[in-house]
Amino acid sequence: MKYLYYPGCAMETTGVPIQMSIDAISNVLGIEFETMKDWTCCGCPGEAINELAAVSLAARNLALAEKSDLDLVAPCSCCYRNLLGAHVILSEDRKVRAQVKEALAAAGLEYKGTVKVRTLIDVLINDVGLELIRSKVKNQLSGLKVGAYYGCHQSRPYGPDHPEFPVWQDWIVESLGAESVFFPLKAQCCGGAQLFSQRAMVTELVARLLNNAEVHGAKCIASTLCPLCFTNLDVNQGRIKNRAGSNFAMPIVAISQLMGVAFGLPPRDLGLHKNVSPVDKVLAPYLQVRI
């Protein structure tokens, strides 16, 4: 199984623990990633106030990806959505297509429209398969109640999982021997980049969904691979009260980190020592060494 890989800017900063665990589990599962050469920002940060700029920058990356015939995997949900979104807009909208063609030509590039953009979760479910994942589990995560958190862009608006009540991460959680807990806000927004400008609003959004997961019995969150979602949940807890009225301490792990724990990989290889939320206690029964 070989794929072209688009890490995205945040995977090199806040997403480092996620990237470490992705490397570790893909090694176990036999997934080979060829990182795109000269990839640049997907354009998503410009989307709100300049859609044409966002689509054009995404198209630059698509044009480079097109030189390979491998599927393009983007683990960050925002990158995935913006790259796929650009592909969709370019195939549907003639006016935008002409404009983007002109913009790309300024850099000597052209996008013909043939790239298949996918999430890593999609690859894990549909190419790797739960059977293979199950076969690699060394530490059954029995007794662990996990809330799978998806965020928005991994399945909204383009799918391929259900746009409002996605299930694929729950399936992965269950295949590791853990119990996946349903909570209604599992695909609610983390607040994204507005964390910087409207911190109170974003903290409230995070508080709601963590409270919701806690009320439904989750003891930890297996987050989507999006570094924005992961970080917003992981670092914002100090200011939030839980049901009991004390400050929140919900352990947040990326789903790739949880898979690594079940596969028996050393926690340091999974970047678990870099998580801000307290993950050691809840994972200790399944680890041979301390984080």
Partner 1 sequence: MYVIKEAKAFVDAVANEPGGEKINECIQCGVCSGSCTTVEWWEYPPRKLIAMIRAGMKEQVLSSASAFNCVTCYLCTVRCPRDIKPSALMHAVMAIAEREGYKPKTPTLTLFRTLRESMKRGRIWDFGMAARFYFSSNIFNGFKVMPVALALISRGLMPIMPPKPIKSGEIKAILNKVRSIQGTGGKR
- List contacts with partner 1 (CB under 8 A): 9-10, 12-14, 16-17, 38-41, 43, 45-53, 56-57, 60, 96, 99, 102-107, 109, 152-153, 156-157, 163-164, 188-189, 191-194, 196-199, 201, 205, 231, 235-236, 238, 274, 276
Please give the Cα distance from 229 to 15 (Å, whole number): 10
Angle between helices 77-92 and 94-105 (to 10 degrees): 110
| CB of 176 vs partner 1, minimal distance in Å | 25
* Residue 50 C-beta: closest distance to partner 1, Å: 6
**How far is the C-alpha of 230 from the C-alpha of 220, rounded, in Å?**
13
3-class state of residue 288 by DSSP: coil
Least distance (Å) between residue 69 CB and partner 1:
23
Q: Which is nearer to partner 1, 20 or 178 (CB)?
A: 20
Q: Which of residues 132 and 193 has its CB atom nearest to partner 1 in the complex? A: 193
| Nearer residue to partner 1 within complex by CB, 130 or 158 | 158
Can you tell me the distance from the alpha carbon of 206 to that of 119, in angstroms, rounded to the nearest whole number?
23
Residue with the two structure tokens 């259900």? 162
User: Nearer to partner 1 by C-beta: 176 or 187?
Assistant: 187
Asked if omega into 7 is within 30° of 0 (cis), the reply is no
SS3 label, residue 153: coil
CB of 108 to partner 1, least distance (A): 8
